[in-house]
């Protein structure tokens, strides 16, 4: 699949601490009308308004340790209703990846029917930064639905582009290889694809000596 404006604007690495995440969540809900649904896979699927300062975790996940949400999901009500896996019709034309993923989900939980259908619900996801070894931060990712780029509804593509531009406004572009003291291999010649946009709290952390892992979580 060739590069598109969507790829150039949104397939980037983002560095956000919990304070930055709260700013992002407030922008998505207050300015853009999205609703925080849950951290995947469980939670309140009604998408009711919430006190985000109380709802969002005050710490980031750590690699290899579970219990802290690793992904935030925001539903866009104006683009369509919430869909659950239990309501998903059988699709014989579904690709192998989707069939395998659904089977694994079914085997992993008895409550799989109540899980959000990431392919049929108009959502924005933020895959959070993760601590590696406790003091090195792996960048996060901004994502849409669990679909190929060309299969997304146009309004979700436009929304991703808009959010990416908003994230950049108070962010700063960094080369993570300049801020990593534990590289296991020499850095690649072309470091541009690894660029990270750090939001204010994360940027202050980096300037105080914080380590960035060049690869995403």
Q: For residue 169, which of 29, 4, 20 has the smallest C-alpha distance?
A: 20
pLDDT at site 138: 96
Averages of pLDDT over each 10 residues, the chain, 217 residues: 43 93 94 80 47 82 90 93 80 60 58 77 95 93 91 95 96 96 90 95 97 89
pLDDT at site 1: 32
Spell 43-60 as b/e; 16+ CB within 10 A means b: bebebeeeebeeebeeeb
pLDDT at site 87: 78
Q: For residue 82, which of 117, 41, 114, 106 has the smallest C-alpha distance?
A: 117
Exposure on the CB side of residue 214, measured as CA atoms within 13 A: 20
pLDDT at site 190: 94
pLDDT at site 17: 98
Residue 39's H or E segment, with its range, is: strand 35-39
pLDDT at site 110: 54
- Phi, psi for 84 (deg, rounded to 5): -110, 155
pLDDT at site 97: 63
Record the pTM. Answer: 0.84
């Amino acid at each position: 699949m060739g590069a598109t404006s969507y790829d150039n604007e949104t397939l980037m690495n983002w560095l956000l601490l919990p304070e930055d995440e709260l700013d992002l969540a407030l922008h998505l809900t207050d300015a853009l009308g999205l609703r925080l649904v849950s951290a995947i896979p469980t939670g309140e699927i009604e998408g009711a308004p919430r006190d985000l300062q109380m709802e969002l975790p005050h710490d980031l996940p750590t690699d290899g340790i579970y219990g802290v949400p690793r992904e935030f999901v925001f539903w866009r009500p104006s683009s369509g209703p919430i869909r659950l896996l239990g309501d998903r019709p059988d699709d014989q034309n579904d690709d192998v990846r989707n069939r395998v993923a659904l089977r694994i989900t079914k085997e992993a939980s008895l409550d799989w029917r109540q899980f959000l259908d990431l392919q049929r619900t108009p959502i924005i996801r933020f895959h959070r930064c993760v601590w590696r070894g406790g003091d090195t931060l792996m960048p996060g990712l901004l994502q849409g639905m669990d679909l190929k780029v060309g299969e997304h509804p146009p309004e979700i593509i436009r929304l991703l582009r808009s959010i990416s531009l908003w994230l950049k406004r108070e962010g700063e572009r960094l080369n993570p290889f300049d801020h990593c003291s534990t590289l296991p291999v020499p850095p690649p010649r072309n470091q541009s694809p690894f660029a990270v946009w750090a939001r204010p709290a994360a940027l202050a952390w980096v300037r105080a000596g914080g380590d960035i892992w060049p690869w995403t979580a």
